[in-house]
Structure 1
Amino acid sequence: MNTPAHLIFGLTAFAKPGQAKITAAALAGALIPDLSLYLMAGWHLQVLGTSPDVVFGRLYFSDAWQSIFRIDNSMILWGMGLAYGLMFRAPVVIALCGAAMLHLGLDFLFHHDDGRAHFWPLTNWIFQSPVSYWDPRHFGNMIGPLEVAASLLCCAVLWRRFEGVGMRVLIVVLGLTEFAPFIIFAIMFAGN
């Protein structure tokens, strides 16, 4: 799924009004599984000038990049963290690891040929979901709009839950970030 959707869902599930540490942990947990991709792709695209075809067609699937993704996308590792948080009743740890587990669960369900090894270190197996959040050959034309709709619904819930200006600005930015590509792609592919 798109990272803004993960952030929106993580905040909806785990953020708490008036509890900045828990809310920040939910935001961080929703982001961390994608962070290495942003850092590595950003470095290659912006600093090294590597073409997007190489970054997303070759490097993304390389052993080097996948070895990093195995760690930050491991349901085993995040699950252990969540179990620790639950065992010791640590709300910040629960929000961090819970949001990460939510992210990974959604990725597991909605990545067809670009998934990750979610069960590392037990196995390097990568599940190929029959559906994709983006690829129209695997129902992306249906899942994508559902993702946007669910994200906007969650933004409405967050808007009602949080009254602070900073949080409301974040909610609007995340909602626009999630919705804008949907509109752009709809315009680009309207004739297809």
Structure 2
Amino acid sequence: MHTPGHAVINLAILSGAVTPEHTLPIVAGAILPDVPIVVLYLREHYLRGLPEERIWSESYQRPFWLNLIHGAHSIPLTLLGTLVGVATGSSLVAIFFGSMLLHALGDLPVHAVDAHRHFLPFSHYRFISPISYWDPRYHGRKVALVEALLVAGATAWLWRDSSLTARLLLSAVLAWYAFSYWKAFLR
């Protein structure tokens, strides 16, 4: 899934069970697993001037980046963090890692050739899904549309209880999804 969608969907899933003080840990946990990917991309593209093809085929494949990215998407590690938060009575820690866990679970079924090692440190197994959220060879056009519709539904769910600032952010996410879908599949 795309990073902004993780934040919106995680907020919709978890918002009914938590207080407003948990909003930041939910969003941070939803976004954090993809931060290394963003850092890698910005570093390689803007500082080193590498084209996207080389970033994904070479830089992304380096062990340091793969271990960092896949570790951030580890279901056992995020589950452990969630359980530590629960065991210590820290709802903020539990919610943060719970949101990371939802991110990993959301990515599991929609990564084909770019699948993460979701079961680190116990296994290097990569579930190669038959569908992808971005790759047209694996139904990317349809999966991306379903993802965008899920984010739109989650936005509608969150809208009624949102502040003006939150509504502006949710609107920006929807606009980004529309533009991204157009750019990737319609132009």
State TM-score, norm by structure 1: 0.89
Contact 1:133 1:140 in 2 (8 A): yes
Looking at structure 2, the residues matched to 16 and 61 of structure 1 have their Cα atoms a distance apart, in angstroms, of 39
Which amino acid counterpart does residue 181 of structure 2 have in structure 1? F
Q: Which residue does the alignment assign to 1:161?
A: 161
Is 1:23 matched with 2:27? no
Range 80-89 or range 108-117, more displaced: 80-89
Contact 1:14 1:22 in 2 (8 A): no
The ranges of structure 1 where at least 4 consecutive aligned residues each deviate by more than 4 angstroms after the TM superposition are 16-20
Q: Which runs of 5+ in 2 are unaligned?
A: none
Q: Which runs of 5+ in 1 are unaligned?
A: none
Looking at structure 1, the residues matched to 178 and 151 of structure 2 have their Cα atoms a distance apart, in angstroms, of 8
Q: CA deviation at 1:185?
A: 2.9
Which amino acid counterpart does residue 52 of structure 1 have in structure 2? E
Q: Which residue does the alignment assign to 2:129?
A: 129
Q: CA deviation at 1:94?
A: 2.6
Ranked by relative contact order (alpha carbons within 8 Å, sequence separation 6 or more), the top structure is 1
Q: Over aligned residue pairs, what C-alpha RMSD do you find?
A: 1.9
Q: CA deviation at 1:98?
A: 1.5
Q: CA deviation at 1:125?
A: 1.8
Q: Which residue does the alignment assign to 2:39?
A: 39
Q: Which residue does the alignment assign to 1:90?
A: 90
State TM-score, norm by structure 2: 0.92
Aligned length, in residue pairs? 187
Which amino acid counterpart does residue 179 of structure 2 have in structure 1? A
Range 153-162 or range 79-88, more displaced: 79-88
Q: CA deviation at 1:58?
A: 1.8
Q: CA deviation at 1:17?
A: 10
Q: Which residue does the alignment assign to 2:173?
A: 174
Q: CA deviation at 1:67?
A: 1.5
Looking at structure 1, the residues matched to 185 and 37 of structure 2 have their Cα atoms a distance apart, in angstroms, of 26
Range 87-96 or range 22-31, more displaced: 87-96
Q: What percent of counterpart residues are identical?
A: 24
Contact 2:141 2:185 in 1 (8 A): no
Q: Which residue does the alignment assign to 1:147?
A: 147
